[in-house]
Amino acid sequence: MDNKIKPREQWGSKIGFTLAAVGSAVGLGNIWRFPTRVGDNGGAAYLFVYLIIIALIGVTVMLAELTIGRKTQLNPVGAFRALSKKWTFVGAMGVLAGFVILSFYSVVGGWTIGYIVRSLTGQFSGDTTELFLGLITNPGEPLLWHAVFMALTIGIVFFGIKGGIEKASKILMPALFIMLILVIIRSLTLEGAGAGLSFYLKPDFSEITLSTVVAAIGQAFFSLSLGMGAMITYGSYLNKEENLIKSAAIIPALDTFIAFIAGLAILPAVFAMGVAPNEGAGLAFMTLPGVFAQMPLGGFFGFLFFVLLFFAALTSAISLLEVVVSFVVDQLKWTRAKATTIMGAIIFVLGAFCSLSYADAKIADVFIWAGEPLFDLMDKLGEYLLVIGALLTSIFVGWAWKTENALQEITNGGKFKFGLAKVWSVLIKYVVPVILVIVFFTYFGFLEI
Ligand code: PFF
């Protein structure tokens, strides 16, 4: 059927949307990236700042993005263009961010597959640092898993919204939560876990600096899937009966809760196993197998955990690719099949370079620029794009589209009560832009951190 006549697909059910949006938010960002950032930025003080940022900035921008999406029923580029031609580029930046983030994200998604295989072959009992480095420094194996992960992401996006995304999210998110609880119980009872617990939960407020705040903001957007239009895209499949205010509260609450308990599962184990908390990208992958090794039925639980982590990564990867694909389908009028395969293939190649930048092989040199592996550069660039995207989105909603119009859409012409409408307006117009401009300055070195 012609694109123009075909009514835009909508979510099969309310709970389907919420779970899919939570599926996008909850992913490697919560379980792999968040504990790493906590470790890098000194522990509890960072956690404290992070929670404030989510409540103040995360929820505010979440509501803004969902509102733009539902209002326009379009992909991010089309959405900005429909509301104001001059702002189309913000949507385009989001598509670029999708490319950049999915490239390295899919590599880590691939690592989870590598770990599923290792759990099956009983390799969780030895030196877990070796286990991780053995995987990522091998030039070939991570590429294979990255290819498998990307192929699955492409497959699900290929078959459209309802078929893949909703079904997967419904069962897997609750299962992941239960697994995390089991890991927490074992982690906290490990010898030496107490030091990790106080590192994570006892803030030393004197440690809070501008750099803590900047790091927390980047992570908050990454974790909530904000700043690149993923939530605009998801909101675009919503009908007017959905209460956006509720969604904008529930999605960040669930996402942050999962990040918090992931920290609780991993950081005590980091200390118990004598791994340095600022170990970087490998933190979760180096400690979790050790926790499973010391658990009854550890082999089985380890397997299950990495299967669930893999699915959490997949539901997020789907939303990253969906942003890129919905843009190409809506704006360039490609078929869904063509858009998914071609865009997916390009992202695969970029990701392959990221993966190789960690390899212990001559070829890695090609992908290490100014001493930094391409993987890390992409991770950084992705975060910058999200922050800049969120900054522009907040200025757009506050000043160009105007909060009155946004509020009209949020409340569906007064049908839904929004007690905090004034507070939200002040946040999106003044507070969020000012804070994000400061972050922006730090990125470009105008402000020392
Ligand atoms: N929020 C995802 C995570 O925490 O793993 C990552 C992500 C997905 C970021 C979608 C941005 C996005 F648009």
pLDDT digits (tens, 9 = 90+) for 78-91: 999 999 999 999 99
Mean pLDDT of 414-440: 96
Apex CA 49: angle with CA 213 and CA 175, to 5°? 115
pLDDT band at residue 171, thresholds of 50, 70 and 90?
A: confident
Q: Which residue has a Cα nearest atom 13 of ligand 1?
A: 225
Between the CA of 195 and the centroid of ligand 1 the distance, in Å, is: 30
Q: Which residue has a Cα nearest atom 10 of ligand 1?
A: 225
Contact status, residue 355 vs residue 108, Cβ threshold 8 Å? no
Strands (E), 208-265: none
Mean pLDDT of 37-64: 96
Note the pLDDT of residue 241: 86
Note the pLDDT of residue 162: 47
Between the CA of 285 and the centroid of ligand 1 the distance, in Å, is: 19
Atom of ligand 1 nearest to the CA of 316: 8
Between the CA of 173 and the centroid of ligand 1 the distance, in Å, is: 15
Mean pLDDT of 420-449: 91
pLDDT at 5 over 60: no
Note the pLDDT of residue 3: 42
> What tens digit of pLDDT does each residue of 192-205 get?
999 999 999 999 99
pLDDT band at residue 299, thresholds of 50, 70 and 90?
A: confident
pLDDT at 446 over 90: no
Percent of the chain with pLDDT over 70: 94
Note the pLDDT of residue 16: 67
Note the pLDDT of residue 278: 86
> What tens digit of pLDDT does each residue of 401-412 get?
999 999 999 999
Between the CA of 333 and the centroid of ligand 1 the distance, in Å, is: 26
Between the CA of 225 and the centroid of ligand 1 the distance, in Å, is: 4
Q: Which two tokens stand for residue 285?
A: 């992958």
- Collapse the DSSP code of 236 into the 3-class scheme (helix H, G, I; strand E, B; otherwise coil) and give the result: helix
Residue from 55, 351, 66, 192 nearest 343 by CA: 351
> Which of 117-121, 293-297, 336-340, 424-428 has the highest mean predicted lDDT (pLDDT)?
424-428
Between the CA of 103 and the centroid of ligand 1 the distance, in Å, is: 12
Residue from 370, 311, 287, 380 nearest 39 by CA: 287
Weakest mean pLDDT among 215-219, 301-305, 421-425, 430-434:
301-305
pTM, entire model: 0.93
Ligand 1: residue of 316, 318, 385, 393 to mutate (most ligand atoms within 8 A of CB) is: 316
Contact status, residue 189 vs residue 424, Cβ threshold 8 Å? no
11 vs 136, residue with greater confidence = 136
pLDDT at 6 over 60: no
Note the pLDDT of residue 273: 87
Quote the mean pLDDT of the chain: 90
Note the pLDDT of residue 92: 93
Q: Which CATH class is domain 16-443?
A: mainly alpha
Atom of ligand 1 nearest to the CA of 30: 4
DSSP structure string for 186-201 = HHHTSTTHHHHHHHHH
Atom of ligand 1 nearest to the CA of 223: 4
Mean pLDDT of 212-218: 95
Could you give the dihedral angle defined by the CA atoms of residues 383, 386, 388 and 390, in that order, rounded to the nearest 10 degrees?
-140
pLDDT at 163 over 60: no
Q: What contacts 396, CB < 8 A, 6 or more positions away?
A: 80, 83, 84, 87, 90
pLDDT band at residue 1, thresholds of 50, 70 and 90?
A: very low
Between the CA of 41 and the centroid of ligand 1 the distance, in Å, is: 21
Distance CA 229, CA 11 (A): 17
Mean pLDDT of 360-368: 88
Side chain identity at 217, as an amino acid letter? I
Residues with CB under 6 A from ligand 1: 24-25, 27-30, 101, 222-223, 225, 228, 230, 316, 319-320
Per DSSP bridges, beta strands 368-369 and 372-373 are antiparallel
Between the CA of 194 and the centroid of ligand 1 the distance, in Å, is: 31
Q: Which residue has a Cα nearest atom 12 of ligand 1?
A: 225
Mean pLDDT of 23-37: 94
Atom of ligand 1 nearest to the CA of 34: 4
Q: Which two tokens stand for residue 143?
A: 């590429």
Question: Domain limits of the chain?
Answer: 16-443
Side chain identity at 98, as an amino acid letter? G
pLDDT band at residue 11, thresholds of 50, 70 and 90?
A: low
pLDDT band at residue 168, thresholds of 50, 70 and 90?
A: low
